[in-house]
Structure 1
Amino acid sequence: MKKINFGLLLFILLTGTSCISSKKMIYLQGVDSLANPAQVIQQDYELRIKPDDQLYIMVSSKEPELLAPFANTQILGSSTSGGGTNIQETTGVQVDKNGKIDVPVLGEIQAAGLTRLQLADEIKKRLEEGQYIKAPAVSVRIKGLKISVMGEVSNPGVHEMAGDRITLLEALSMAGDLTPTAKRTNILVLREEEGKRHTYTVDLTSGRDVLESPCYYLQQNDVVYVEPNKSINVKGSSALSYLGAGASIISVLASIVSLIVVLSK
């Protein structure tokens, strides 16, 4: 009877330890419950221009002479395509602390808070209303889009964004995923919006928490921080990592030995 009880207790101890470990390590738990009905994907993920952003503004026209008034020290030059379209691109327009840009001839334009397409439409409208260029084509790009991923990831550092849409999961993948010593239930995202600094926390083990988070779609200059779990105290100390893991194993073994001693009496 004692042998049966011992086996049963040992099984509960080991399976209980395994379950706790899995729940702390597996991402997006419960996400299957969100599949029916299917979630509607947000359509407002396009980045908003912020103060201190660097913008590329490109204006093209089939009448090259109309672009002459916009030639200044910021203009790189013009190129002619097979269709005769002349294009001029600035080296970069800085968005000032008030969210405005200074465009040649057009003057100041409020850019912060607008998307790239909205700013391009505003510049195009002013060009047409002022009769500077007939049927202009305007495009805007944000230069040097980046996010920072710090802490318990395989490849921490500053990572460039390839487009307007990047998710928190993609950013962590770019950083090589979380290390085994990372705390997956409290990912911190720092974001500056409208002159204020906001902080968000995300539990990667919860599918609902990840997919419904306001920082599921990241923005330029966001900072993602992954803190270590309790098994280590100092970032980058492999000795402490092994020590923490060893301590956990010793604790389990000690519990098993104690059970053996009690049940053998």
Structure 2
Amino acid sequence: MRKLFAKIFLLSTLTLFALTSCNRRSQLLYFNNISNESLKTLKIPDYTLRVGDVLYIQIITQDPIVSNLFNNRGLGDAIQSSLFTNESTNYLYGYSVSDSGFVQLPVLGKLKIIDLTINQCRNLIQKQTEKYLNDGIAVVKMLSFKVTILGEVKSPGVKINLKDNLTIFEGLGLAGDVTDYADRRNVMLIRQTPEGVKTLRINLQDKSLLFSEAYYLAPNDMLVVEPRKGKLFSMNSPNIAIYLSIVSTTLLLINYILK
């Protein structure tokens, strides 16, 4: 009888150990198949402006009074507060691309910017500015570059990007990185395109991601990080350990009583 109890105890312990240690180190790494070989470079895609995009547009001159004539009056105060981090402020003081593809600027008037890149838009506004000013400098940035990151990340939600471009890993960084329960081989990217909604399945452990269209995120992209299949058991493993401990203790007591 004592040997039977000992076998049951040993089997329970080994089972728990095997189940709780099934998460291999390789499952927690990015780019498992990458080496020290030289990699090809990926051209950063040029995002073209669409209806509803919101832009920060400023005309800078040496004379503040002249500058005010060419700019949104509330923009100066907004810059000092939360223009680039507060979405509601962005829409209040930014310039939205209209349904017809135009923005309406003080003095410069109505300019068609749809389907232009940020640089092309900046050049267009700069060219128009030079018709009025010799020292005017046009500054153009995206205010509506936001991505939504959900699932197995530490800080899910809508994230605002303040740069001209954003890689998928920078996006995950804004969300605090993935959790220990994340399946790095199964991340879904949902992208809005002029043709409709596009979905891509991404493997964060495969170096081919570095050369794919999913590597650079676009405004309004959504990332969904799926959980690993063993998440439920991993979350419950502390309780299972307690139950096994209780069972083992009970068996030892029974063994002691029956001796």
TM-score (normalised: structure 2) = 0.67
Q: Give me the whole-angstrom Cα distance separating, in 1, the residues matched to 2:123 and 2:67.
A: 17
| 2:73 matched residue in structure 1 | 75
Matched residue pairs, number?
A: 211
Percent identity for Structure 1 against Structure 2: 27
Residue 94 of structure 1 deviates from its aligned partner by: 0.9
| 1:143 matched residue in structure 2 | 143
Alignment of 1:190-201 (within 5 A): 190-194=190-194, 196-201=196-201
SS at match of 2:41: coil
Q: Give me the whole-angstrom Cα distance separating, in 2, the residues matched to 1:245 and 1:112.
A: 57
Q: Give me the whole-angstrom Cα distance separating, in 2, the residues matched to 1:231 and 1:212.
A: 30
Alignment of 1:24-63 (within 5 A): 24-32=27-35, 35-42=36-43, 44-45=44-45, 47-62=47-62
SS at match of 1:226: strand
1:242 aligns with 2:240: no
Q: Give me the whole-angstrom Cα distance separating, in 1, the residues matched to 2:24 and 2:239.
A: 12
Residue 68 of structure 1 deviates from its aligned partner by: 7.5
Q: Give me the whole-angstrom Cα distance separating, in 2, the residues matched to 1:77 and 1:218.
A: 28
TM-score (normalised: structure 1) = 0.65
Q: Give me the whole-angstrom Cα distance separating, in 2, the residues matched to 1:116 and 1:242.
A: 50
Deviations 1:173-225 (A, max 9, x none): 222222222222121111112252221221012122x2122121112221110
| 1:218 matched residue in structure 2 | 217
Give 1:55's aligned amino acid. L
Alignment of 1:72-221 (within 5 A): 74-76=72-74, 91-128=93-130, 131-194=131-194, 196-208=196-208, 210-221=209-220
Higher relative contact order (Cα pairs below 8 Å, separated by 6+ residues) = 2
Residue 135 of structure 1 deviates from its aligned partner by: 4.1
Give structure 2 stretches of 5+ with no counterpart. Answer: 1-16, 78-91, 245-259
**Do the aligned partners of residues 68 and 187 (structure 1) sit closer, same or farther apart at CA in structure 2, a change above 3 Å counting?**
closer
Query: Do the aligned residues in 1 keep the contact of 2:103 with 2:112 (CA within 8 Å)?
Result: yes
Q: Give me the whole-angstrom Cα distance separating, in 2, the residues matched to 1:202 and 1:189.
A: 7
SS at match of 2:55: strand
Q: Give me the whole-angstrom Cα distance separating, in 2, the residues matched to 1:148 and 1:37.
A: 32
**Do the aligned partners of residues 244 and 24 (structure 1) sit closer, same or farther apart at CA in structure 2, a change above 3 Å counting?**
farther
SS at match of 1:150: strand
| 2:24 matched residue in structure 1 | 21
Give 1:57's aligned amino acid. I
Q: CA RMSD of the aligned region, Å?
A: 3.6
Query: Do the aligned residues in 2 keep the contact of 1:231 with 1:245 (CA within 8 Å)?
Result: no
Query: Do the aligned residues in 2 keep the contact of 1:25 with 1:205 (CA within 8 Å)?
Result: no
Alignment of 1:254-265 (within 5 A): none
Q: Give me the whole-angstrom Cα distance separating, in 1, the residues matched to 2:127 and 2:152.
A: 48
SS at match of 1:117: helix
Q: Give me the whole-angstrom Cα distance separating, in 2, the residues matched to 1:172 and 1:241.
A: 23
| 1:227 matched residue in structure 2 | 226
Q: Give me the whole-angstrom Cα distance separating, in 2, the residues matched to 1:245 and 1:204.
A: 31
Residue 157 of structure 1 deviates from its aligned partner by: 1.2
